[in-house]
């Protein structure tokens, strides 16, 4: 029988998507690196290696190489579109910038993609005051209250004397000056150049190191996985959804051995599972650029070069809930939660599973 609208709403959960892929890491057409590269803003990376007591040196140095990032306080947005900045940073490497402590569902937000696109997500009033061309946000509803402005800084027509450049500069400098705290990361491709530290005034910029924590989990129940069975097989292996939930439980320190009659919680590790004596968990928190994650993923694949006890390992990457984009330039918003995250499960034979999850105000991941 059909349920009435109010009662149906009472049972409705917000829309969300989970995309699961499987492929082989050494496959010529495997898109795993592209998926990582397309996800520009990452706030936390964690990896879990079962049957591993101490981290191999290679991985240790890779983690240490996860670059530092910068926090720029009270930066006027027009400084990012000046030609000096574009020539020294945007065109010479990949420059990532994201506003810090701005909430995309209520504040103005800006992000500079490594492709040189500056994306502003602004409310209606700011949009009208700025007078720059944009488009209504996809998730703004019938009455548009949020607009997206995209400015391509690498566009050849965006040279210093062009009308377009002057207009943008004037809008951001005089018409409606916008000021944000920015998270910045810059990775240049070999060429020497000035650094962000010397470019911006000392009292404005601050260097930050990613926070790294290690822990060893004892007697961990791990689900049994088969790389070619995404959906799992009853009695033989677990499905990707089960693994995804289990990994969440491990990362949140949820107890895995509850009984079905337990009052507090009935969650338990999916079947079938094995008990692993120890598992190594490492978490890196900060403003992490995709290049570093690709490096780390590569090194994690190399972990299986030597024979290891572990059948698989996982790498989880959390995106920023308040970034205006998730993958590539697909718009991202905050509805009940701004989740955009992905997780790799790398198997011993270098098959991998990739799980990409997004919340309500998001496009389907690539």
Partner 1 sequence: MVRFKNRYVLCEVVSEDPRCRQCIEDRAVGLAVREAIARAHGDYGLACCSVSFTVKYLNAYTGTVLLRCRKDFYRLLCSALPFVRQLESRNQRYPCFFNTLHVGGTIRTCQKFLIQYNRRQLLTLLQNCTNEEERRSIRQSVLSCSLTEEQSQSGDEEDDDDTETD
Partner 2 sequence: MARADPPPPPPAAFERRVLRSAAEHHYLRVRLELPDGGARPSAAQFKQLVVTALRELHGEVGAALPVDVLTYEEKTLSAILRVTSSGLVKLWSALTLLGFYQNRRCAFRVLQTSPFLLALSGNSRELVLD
**Which parts of 325-344 interact with partner 2 (CB under 8 A)?**
336-339, 341, 343
According to DSSP, residue 307 is labeled -
CA angle, corner 172, sides to 188 and 91, nearest 5?
15
Q: Which stretch binds partner 1 (CB under 8 A): 1-9, 45-53, 267-275, 321-329?
A: 1-9
Residue nearer to partner 1 on the CB measure, 6 or 156:
6
- The site partner of 266 among partner 2, partner 1, none (C-beta below 5 to 8 Å per kind) is partner 2
Binding flag, residue 156, partner 1 (CB under 8 A): no
Indicate left, alpha or beta for 300 from its phi (over 0: left) and psi (-120 to 50: alpha): alpha
* Site membership for partner 2, residue 260 (CB under 8 A): no
**Least separation, in Å, of the C-beta of 129 and partner 2?**
27
Distances (CA, A) of 159 to 43, 155, 164, 165, 305: 33, 8, 8, 7, 49
Return the residues of window 57-96 that contact partner 2 according to CB under 8 A: 71
Which listed residue (82, 140, 188, 285) binds partner 2 by CB under 8 A?
285
Chain centre to alpha carbon of residue 39: 6
Beta strands in the chain (DSSP E): 17-24, 42-50, 69-76, 94-99, 109-112, 117-123, 135-136, 146-152, 179-187, 205-208, 211-223, 273-288, 312-319, 340-347, 351-358
232 binds partner 2 (CB under 8 A): no
Size of the site for partner 1 (CB under 8 A): 5
Alpha-carbon distance values, 193 to 85, 94, 183, 198 (Å)? 12, 13, 20, 10
20 binds, among partner 2, partner 1, none (CB under 5 to 8 A by kind): partner 2
DSSP one-letter code for 365:
P
Residue 319 pairs in a beta bridge with 42
Q: How far is CA 1 from the centre of its chain?
A: 42
Options 108-116, 143-151, 246-254, 291-299: segment touching partner 2 (CB under 8 A): 246-254
Segment near partner 2 (CB under 8 A); pick from 108-116, 164-172, 191-199, 219-227: 219-227
218 binds partner 2 (CB under 8 A): no
Q: Least distance (Å) from partner 1 to the CB of residue 2?
A: 10
In the region spanning residues 3 to 32, those forming contacts with partner 1, defined by CB under 8 A, are 3-7
Q: 13 or 191, CB closer to partner 2?
A: 13
* Minimal distance, residue 71 CB to partner 2, in Å: 6
- Decide whether 133 or 265 has the Cβ nearer to partner 2: 265
CB nearer to partner 2: give 84 or 219: 219
In 191-311, alpha helices (H): 196-199, 240-251, 290-302
- Token pair 């007078």 is found at 131
- Shortest Å, Cβ 282 to partner 2: 13
Q: How far apart are the first and last CA of the chain?
A: 37
* 34 lies in the site for partner 2, by CB under 8 A: no
Q: Which of 12, 189, 198, 260 binds partner 2 (CB under 8 A)?
A: 12
Distinct helix (H) and strand (E) counts, the chain: 9, 15
- Which residues of this protein are in contact with partner 1, per CB under 8 A? 3-7
């Amino acid at each position: 029988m059909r349920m009435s609208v109010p009662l149906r709403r009472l049972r409705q959960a917000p829309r969300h998507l989970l995309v699961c892929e499987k492929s082989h890491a050494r496959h010529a057409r495997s898109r795993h690196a592209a998926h990582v590269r397309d996800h520009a803003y990452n706030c936390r990376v964690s990896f879990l290696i079962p049957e591993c007591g101490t981290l191999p040196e290679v991985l240790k140095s890779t983690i240490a190489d996860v670059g530092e990032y910068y926090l720029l306080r009270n930066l006027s947005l027009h400084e990012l579109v000046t030609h000096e900045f574009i020539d020294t940073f945007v065109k010479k490497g990949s420059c990532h910038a994201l506003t810090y402590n701005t909430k995309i569902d209520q504040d103005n937000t800006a992000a500079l993609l490594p492709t040189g696109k500056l994306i502003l997500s602004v409310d209606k009033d700011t949009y009208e005051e700025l007078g720059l061309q944009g488009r209504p946000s996809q998730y703004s509803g019938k009455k548009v209250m949020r607009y997206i402005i995209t400015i391509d800084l690498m566009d050849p027509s965006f040279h210093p004397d062009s009308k377009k450049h002057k207009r943008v500069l004037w809008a951001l400098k005089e018409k409606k000056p916008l000021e944000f705290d920015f998270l910045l990361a810059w990775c240049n491709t070999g060429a020497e150049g000035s650094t962000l530290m010397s470019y911006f005034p000392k009292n404005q910029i601050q260097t930050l190191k990613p926070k790294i924590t290690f822990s060893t989990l004892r007697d961990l129940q791990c689900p049994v996985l088969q790389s070619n069975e995404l959906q799992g097989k009853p009695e033989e292996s677990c499905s990707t959804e089960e693994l995804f939930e289990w990994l969440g439980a491990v990362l949140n320190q949820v107890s895995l051995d509850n009984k079905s009659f337990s009052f507090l919680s009935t969650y338990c590790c999916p079947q079938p599972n094995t008990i692993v004596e120890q598992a190594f968990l490492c978490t890196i928190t900060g403003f992490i650029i995709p290049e570093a994650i690709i490096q780390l993923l590569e090194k994690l694949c190399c972990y299986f070069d030597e024979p290891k006890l572990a059948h698989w390992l996982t790498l989880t990457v959390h995106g920023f809930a308040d970034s205006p984009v998730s993958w590539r330039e697909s718009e991202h918003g905050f509805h009940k939660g701004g989740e955009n995250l992905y997780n790799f499960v790398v198997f011993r034979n270098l098959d991998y599973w990739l799980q990409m999850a997004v919340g309500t105000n998001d496009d389907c991941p690539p």
